[in-house]
Chains A and B, each alone.
Chain A
Amino acid sequence: MGLARRVWTGYGGYALGFASLFVIWQMASLYLVGSVLFPPPTIVFKKALVLARNGVLLEHLSASLQRILAGFVAGSLLGIPIGLAMGSFRPVRKLLEPYTEFLRFIPSVAMITVAVIWFGIGEASKVFLIIYTTIFIVILNTAAGVSAIAPNKIRAAESLGATPAQIFFHVALPATVPYILTGMRLAMANSFTTIVAAELIAANDGLGKMLWDGRLFMLVDEIFVSLVTLGLLGFSADRMFRWSIYTFAGKYSPAT
C-alpha cells in the first residue's frame, strides 16, 4: 500500500468529517436559522482572527491551559501513588476507600462554591478544583490496574527470586501503566469541564470568563469563538495524550 493511500485511509476520513461539520454548520446557520444568535463559521473565524491578532484569545487560552496543566499534573502526581498503595495493600484500601467512594460522588462543579470561599477567585481555587477532579479518577484507575495484574506475573517473579520491593517496582508498577494512562486521559477530559464551569462563576480571565462576558454583553460571535477554541483544545490535548502513549509507552499498551 502506497504512502498516499495510507495517509488517506488514516486521516482522509477525518478531514472529510471535519469539513462536513463546518459545511453543515454554515448551511444550518444561513438557511435554516438565519439569525445573529447562531453565527456561521465564516463569521466566527473572522472574529477569532481579530481576537487572535489583538492577543485577547491567547490571554484567555493560556490562562485556562495553565490552570488545567498545573492541576492535572499535581492531581496525577498525588493520585498515582495513592492508587498504587490502595491497590497493593488491603489496609490502605480499607482506610482510604471511604474518602474516594464518598468524595467522587460530589462533582467538582459542586465544589466551586467552597473553593471560592476557601481560596478566593484567583488561581488557587481553580487549581484546587482541577486537582479535585483529576485525583479520584486517577486513584480509581490505578488501584483497579493493580488488582487486575495476572497472579502468575507475581508468582513468576517470586519463583525467579524477586523481593517484594522488586516485584512492586519491576512487575506491579509497569503492569499498571496502561490503567494509569487511561485514568489520566479521562481526568484530562474532566478538567476541561471543570475549568469552564469554574471560570464561568468566578474568574478574571480564561475561556469560561470569555463565554460569560459574551453572554453579558450579547457578543454572540465571541461566545462561539470560545466554544470552538474549547473543542479544538480538548481534541488536540486528547490526541497529544494518545500520541504520547503510543510513542513513549506503546509497549505498555493494554493489548499485551
Chain B
Amino acid sequence: MPAKYDVELIGVTKRYGATLAVDNISLRIPQASYCCLLGPSGCGKTTILKMLAGFEAPTAGRILMDGREVTGASRDRGVVFQGDDSLYGWLTAVENVEFGLRMRHMHKAERRGRAMRYLELVGLRGQEQKYPAELSGGMKQRIQIARVLANEPKMLLMDEPFAALDAQTRSLMQIELASIWRATRTTVLFITHDIDEAVTLGKRIGVMRAGPRSQVKGVVEVSLNGARSRTDDAFLRYYKEVYEMIRDEVAKSLSRAD
C-alpha cells in the first residue's frame, strides 16, 4: 500500500541520559503541506527536527518517510539551521548555494545556472560573489534557504530560521518564504516559538506541551489561502485559538525554569 503521508512519526521518544526530552510523539506531515511546530522554549521542538533530519536517532519509536524508515541524514530532507554557522565561510554566496549540486558532480554550467535561479528567488541577485561574512544576518539566512531549495529535497526542515533576525527583516522573510512555498509546494516542517509566525506561514500548526516529556497538545488546521494579512478577522481568530492553547504551556515552562 503506498504511504498516504510523506512523513510520519510513530511513538517517537528521545532520552538524553535521565532526561526525557520527547515523550511518545506521533505526528503526520502530509505531502506538500506546510506544518509548523509551535511551542515554548525547551519543549523539544529542535530535538524532533534533529531526529527527522537524521542527525540523531530516536530512543524508541519510528520515523517514516514515504513508508521507509529514516536512518540518517539524506538529501531528501534539506535543513535550514537557526544560526549562520552552517554556511561555508570560504565559499561565496553562489558557491554555498551550489554545494549540494557540486557534491553530486553536476556539470559546472548547469549547477551555476540553477544556483543563480534560486539566489534570484530569495532576492540575492547581485550578491552572488560575496562571502557570508560580508552579508547581513537576513541575507545569510536567504543563502541557507537558497542552498536547500537548489538541492530540490522532498522536504524542508526549518529550525527557527528567522529567530535571530530583527522584526522588520523577519516579517519580510516570512512573506517571501510563503510565496516561495506557494511556488514550489515542497513539504515543510517549520519550527518556531512565535504564534504570529506560525499563523502567517502554517497550513497545520502542531502546538506542543511544555517540556521536558514534550508531547503534541493539539493540531490546528489553518484554512487561509494566498497571502495572509495580520489584520484579517480569520487570521486573528486562528491567532486567538493557538494563543489559548499555548498560554498554559508557556506558564508551565516558566514556572519550571524557576
Contact = CB atoms under 8 A, between A and B. Distances in A.
Contacts of A255: 133
A159 B147 contact: no
| Majority-rule SS of A interface residues | helix
Interface in B140-176: 147-148, 151, 153
Contacts of B99: 157, 160, 162, 170
Given A160-B78, A160-B147, A161-B74, A155 B86 contact: yes
Given A150-B86, A155-B55, A256-B90, A161 B75 contact: yes
A256 to B, nearest CB: 3
Contact of A160 (B89, B90, B100): B100
B54 A159 contact: yes
B1 interface: no
A233 to B, nearest CB: 31
Interface of A: 150, 152-153, 155-163, 166, 170-171, 174-175, 177, 251-252, 255-256
In this complex, the interface size class of chain B, counting residues with CB under 8 Å from chain A, is: 20 to 34
Interface of B: 53-55, 72-75, 77-79, 81, 83, 85-90, 99-100, 102-104, 131-133, 147-148, 151, 153
Given A150-B86, A156-B86, A174-B88, A163 B81 contact: no
Contact of B53 (A155, A162, A170): A155
Chain B CB count within 10 A is highest, among A161, A170, A256, for: A161
B104 A161 contact: yes
Contacts of B55: 155, 158
A160 B85 contact: no
A101 to B, nearest CB: 30
Contacts of A174: 88, 90
